[in-house]
Chains A and B, each alone.
Chain A
Amino acid sequence: MIYREAGQFKTSYASDQAIFPIAQDRAVVLLALAAAFVGPPLLASEYWLQAILIPLLIYSLAAIGLNLLTGYAGQLSLGTGGFMAVGAYAAFKLTTAFPQVSIVLVFLLSGLVAAGVGLVFGIPSLRIKGFYLAVATLASQFFLVWLFNKVAWFSNYASSGTITAPDRAVLGVTVTGPSATASARYLTALALVTVFALVAKNLVRGRVGRSWMAIRDRDIAAEIIGVRPLRTKLLAFGISSFYCGVAGAELVFLYLGSAETQAFDIGLSFLILFMVIIGGRGSILGSVLGAVFIVLVPIFLTNAPHALGLRLPVALQKQIELMVFGGLIVFFLIVEPRGLARLWQITKEKLRLWPFPH
């Protein structure tokens, strides 16, 4: 009844091709966005900002990046953690070498560095496909992490190999480093995710995204209709790595504050891949939903027994958490193999008919 597009006429191509053609969608998204910008900094406690919302935003960005590559272009990658590490170390090297350069610019440049590395590791994708490509990208994961661990130059010869985010300001407000407030870091992360999600959404709706999907669905057919596999696949690797690189830089600069290569191990690559699979392959919204699921559910499961007044030993609680979390993943994949984004889509279709389904 509420969610119905009756009476909304599209009188121009622009309105027909809008990202959110339905007025209600537009309103909801804009309201949600406004709420996200205003609400948490005013209302949320530091714990919520620091331990939940900031990582959520950063993982969303990384998941969007991987979704472009795996969900849209169909190239399975397990190198996400490695590309994020490239972004983080590049940002660290850049901002320590050029402290006067704006940190936002540093993030973008480190994204570009990651994109370059991604291009190199994307080259095998021209020859190998599917699981074999996953193995090839796995090599990049291990190689990059090993490289940053081995070569002390990357961490400016810190004895512990740890990189630390220095204080950097944007428009006079400190957004990174120990003296930055959680709100400032949250807003920076949110602004970056918003911009890049919008860019990604537009990318996948346009020529580039369509050629990715053509390659994903059947590469030979795509080649026949004139999509160049070399360019398309490498572009997917490059752009995806750019996103991951920015996310990696944010991970250190906005969330952890200091990190070593351990933060970018294979577990991170799997985590991001799970976000994409659970959220929904080939969906920008799905990437965000997947990140929400993976970040929030374990924290909820940790806190739930406590809130109920159950006093379980922490070890038992952790094991229960892992079991329930694993079970939930299996459950969701059985119920909806196409992810949370698909569930949302079904809900929307149902809502359109509600309350008169026939």
Chain B
Amino acid sequence: MNARTLLTMALAAAVAAGPAVTTALAAGEMFVPLLVYRTGPYAPNGIPLANGFNDYFNLINDRDGGVNGVRIAFEECETQYDTKQGVECYERLKGRSPVLVNPFSTGITYQLIPKAPGDKIVVHSSGYGMTASADGRWFPWVFNFPMTYWSQASAFVKYVAQQEGGTDKLKGKKIVHVYHNSPYGKEANPTLETLARDLGFELTLLAVDHPGQEQKATWLQVRRLNPAWIYVSGWGVMNQVAVKEAAAIGFPMDHVVGNWWTGTEADVVPAGEGAKGYKSMTFHAPGHGFKVHQDIFKHVYDKGKGAAKREDVGEVLYNRSIINAMLDTEAMRLAMTRFGNKPLTGEQLRWGMENLNVTEKRLEELGMKGMLRPLRMTCENHEGNGTAAVQQWDGKKWTIISDWIEPMRDVVRPKLEAAAVEEAKKLGYVMRDCAKEK
């Protein structure tokens, strides 16, 4: 490729992504800021996430003319997965009166949670963020459906128990948690520790410091410990390094399970053949075989407005991102049934999020049948009733290999409620009475 083609490509990319950046907010529009990271050590994961949002919103705007006629205006802001830059982005884009923000980063979510009630902006950390915020009685403005880190970790343990042939077989088994040394990576630890106590497996926590390019010492420890299972909570460049290192020490890859942020194409492709058999948690199906993808191809890519490369549509994180965008727009749609087909306020959208009920039938209408499970929110439970599954990399593509796994809600929920009290106390919140809101 010579310089000229590169330049042409760069220009083409600039033109293609141009419409993504709109400046003025027309009447009858709702603004959604996108805090993305297309550069830096987290870009491999940040790019598909950002692309999915762009494409889904463009689809809604171009195919349906917006949500019930209200177009979605959106603008990207580069955070590099850095909390300070993320807060700067949030404050800057707040000037365009958004009603919803998807931080795409647990660190940034922690920053935005205290601001949400004052700014009246819904924080939707879909499958990430602060686990305790799933208690809607304490955190009315924060949503982390379809599932929290804690539920996810419990689903992982359940899966391991299934594979080992029963919960009692876990006794004495060694499980290692290799995690990104940040609020994100640490989230799963309390649940794993509780379950280790209850079920009698030996848990070892191994932290990997940001950005995670250097993990030799960690995997040397893994080798010494020789655990039965490894759970990885990584992000960005850390993921591919972890997968490569696991393969390099000759660990059986089908006993390495990433959490759902540690299992997209970009994480396994660099490890080549070595990544074969690697597993990860997920809450939706991979691939571009769903009707929604055909719509995206038809209405977005065929018009040259696609944010990603055509062949990257259907990557795991891309799909997660369009699901996240779908849940947001569905909440808008629901809020509009009550408040009218006009741009919503933060409070109105909050109501929509809280009463969201995505049924099997609705998923079929959206072209996402089989892509994820129906989801229902309540005032108390902002995590919803999500279920997890395990997917496996066969060297070419991801395939779901397990049934849908119910998290151990009886273990997670009491802990979560206790943590919510703890976290809310720090912020000086008072508990609201959900019975009165019906």
Contact = CB atoms under 8 A, between A and B. Distances in A.
Interface string B99-125: 000000011001100110110000000
A318 B81 CA distance: 13
Interface stretch (A18-26, A83-91, A279-287, A308-316): A308-316
Given A314-B38, A314-B76, A318-B78, A257 B111 contact: yes
B115 A257 contact: yes
A162 B91 contact: no
Interface in A202-244: none
Interface residues of B, number: 50
Contacts of A248: none
B183 interface: yes
B8 interface: no
Interface in A35-60: 45-47, 50-51, 55
Given A160-B110, A166-B426, A262 B210 contact: yes
Interface string A275-317: 0000000000000000000000001001100100101111111
B221 interface: no
Contact of A159 (B19, B115, B419): B419
Given A51-B91, A149-B181, A160 B83 contact: no
Residue from A159, A313, A316 with most neighbouring chain B CB atoms (10 Å)? A159
Given A45-B95, A259-B83, A313 B20 contact: yes
Contacts of B131: 159
A150 to B, nearest CB: 8
A176 to B, nearest CB: 11
Nearest to A164: B426
Interface in A48-93: 50-51, 55
Interface size class of A (residues with CB under 8 A): 35 or more
Given A258-B114, A262-B107, A314-B36, A159 B10 contact: no
A159 B190 contact: yes
B183 A162 contact: yes
A250 interface: no
B186 A263 contact: no
Contacts of A309: 23
B142 to A, nearest CB: 13
A17 interface: no
Given A159-B190, A306-B23, A316 B92 contact: no
Contacts of A161: 182-183, 186
A302 to B, nearest CB: 8
A184 interface: no
Contacts of B10: 316
B210 A178 contact: no
Interface string B29-61: 000000010110001000000000000000000
B428 A177 contact: yes
A179 interface: yes
A167 B181 CA distance: 27
Given A160-B130, A178-B114, A315 B78 contact: yes
A178 B427 contact: yes
Contact of A319 (B39, B182, B186, B427): B39
Contacts of A162: 110, 183
Interface string A157-193: 0111110101100000000011100000000000000
B189 A159 contact: yes
B84 A263 contact: yes
Contact of A315 (B38, B84, B183): B38
B207 interface: yes
Residue from A260, A302, A306 with most neighbouring chain B CB atoms (10 Å)? A260
A215 B187 CA distance: 48
Contact of B17 (A265, A302, A313): A313
A256 interface: yes
A3 to B, nearest CB: 36
B18 interface: yes
B430 interface: no
B225 interface: no
B91 A149 contact: no
A159 B110 CA distance: 13
Contacts of A167: 428
B182 A256 contact: no
Nearest to B94: A47
B21 interface: yes
A313 B39 CA distance: 11
A47 B91 contact: yes
Contact of B87 (A51, A179, A311, A317): A51
A311 B75 CA distance: 11
Contacts of A45: 95
A256 B130 contact: no
B80 interface: yes
A45 B93 CA distance: 12
Interface in B152-204: 181-183, 186-187, 189-190
Interface in B414-438: 419, 422-423, 426-428
A282 to B, nearest CB: 28
A223 B154 CA distance: 65
A313 B87 CA distance: 20
B132 to A, nearest CB: 8
B374 to A, nearest CB: 30
A45 B95 CA distance: 9
Interface string B1-39: 000000000100110011111010000000000001011
B78 A258 contact: no
Contacts of A159: 131, 186-187, 189-190, 419
B38 to A, nearest CB: 4
- By Cβ-Cβ distance, the 10 closest A-B pairs, closest first, are A178-B114, A315-B38, A160-B183, A313-B17, A51-B91, A314-B78, A311-B18, A51-B88, A318-B78, A314-B76
Given A177-B428, A265-B210, A311-B19, 7 more contacts: A51-B92, A159-B419, A166-B427, A257-B111, A313-B17, A315-B38, A318-B39
16 contacts: A46-B94, A50-B87, A160-B130, A162-B183, A167-B428, A177-B428, A178-B114, A178-B115, A179-B118, A262-B210, A306-B21, A313-B20, A314-B36, A315-B78, A316-B13, A318-B39
